[in-house]
Amino acid sequence: MNFRKIAFVAADSVPARRALHKLERRYGNADAAKADAIVALGGDGFMLETLHRFIELRTPIYGMNRGTVGFLMNNYSEPDLPARLRRAEEVRLHPLAMTARTASGQRHRALAINEVSLLRQTRQSCHLRILVDGSVRMSDLIADGALVATPAGSTAYNLSAHGTIVPIGTGLMALTPISAFRPRRWRGALLPHRAVVTFEIQDADKRPVAAVADFTEVRNVVRVDVREDRASTLHLLFDPEHNLEERILAEQFQP
């Protein structure tokens, strides 16, 4: 692919907006629906927003860091962008699909590229029953919450919760407790990517729980199902020297 038509989107920050203006003057700005690639200018948070925004297009998305962390971003550089896009390596990811049912009986569906997390809404810990493919694996987890993370998301909130980093291509997802009180020694589990994880909230009236899929929050849930959405595919582009698989692998050896 020649990448002649490039669409640029930018976070609402001074560095990102300045970069947008410079790149537009140099390369123009194609309609995202007709572009060969979409270039996102910002940090990891904006990259997630861009992936959600254009998930239906299936257009390759290439991030350039104009934010802070930049784990999902390439280094910022203006010259020879079409050549960089041609050399870039593609990583394909599948998001998680969350189906959450509330105490009032409403059902909410959302996609998560990083993780689906369940979080206590009050000062009291939540009580969760965890099922995997319909079988009860944890009858009562007492904790601040729990999460299910994709490999790409395993270095984000999952890592902060002391969850296992999952390399790209392993066909696994991470199930991790958040500040577990009982059982204290349980650190979570690695599950096949085709598994269906179900959280049933115990004593939901007294101990309300919210479910969050990336940017979508549903409060007062009583049941949450999480599975990989194989029908949705994200296409990310990375410079060869900024290989995502290598970065996730290297993250496991950080002191």
Q: What is the pLDDT of residue 253?
A: 86
Give me the count of residues in the chain: 255
**222 is in which domain, residue-wise?**
96-228
Gap between the terminal Cα atoms of the chain:
40
Buried b (16+ CB within 10 A) or exposed e, 9-31: bbbebebbeebbeebeeebebbe
Does residue 1 sit within a domain?
no
Identify whether 133 is a catalytic site residue: no
Cβ atoms of 200 and 126 closer than 8 Å: no
Whether residues 213 and 111 fall in one domain: yes
Model pLDDT, residue 255: 75
Q: Total domain count for the chain?
A: 2
Same domain, 49 and 131: no
Residues 131, 60 share a domain: no
Q: How confident is the model at residue 2, as a pLDDT?
A: 84
Same-domain pairing of 10 and 53: yes
In a domain, 106, yes or no: yes
Which of 12, 31, 36, 44 is the catalytic position? Answer: 44
Q: Evaluate if pTM is beyond 0.75.
A: yes
pLDDT at 112: 97
The secondary structure of residue 30, as a DSSP letter, is -
Same domain, 119 and 17: no
247 shares a domain with 205 = no
Preceding peptide of 60 cis, ω within 30°: no
Torsion of CA 71, 74, 78, 79, to 10 degrees: 160
Q: What is the CATH number of the domain that holds 82?
A: 3.40.50.10330
Whether residues 124 and 151 fall in one domain? yes
Residue 59 lies in a domain: yes
10-residue averages of pLDDT along the chain (255 residues): 93 97 97 97 95 95 91 93 95 96 97 97 97 97 98 93 91 96 94 97 96 97 97 94 81 81
Identify the pLDDT of residue 9: 98
Give the pLDDT confidence score for residue 108 in this predicted structure: 98
Note whether 111 and 222 are same-domain residues: yes
Q: Can you give the CATH number for the domain in which 156 is found?
A: 2.60.200.30
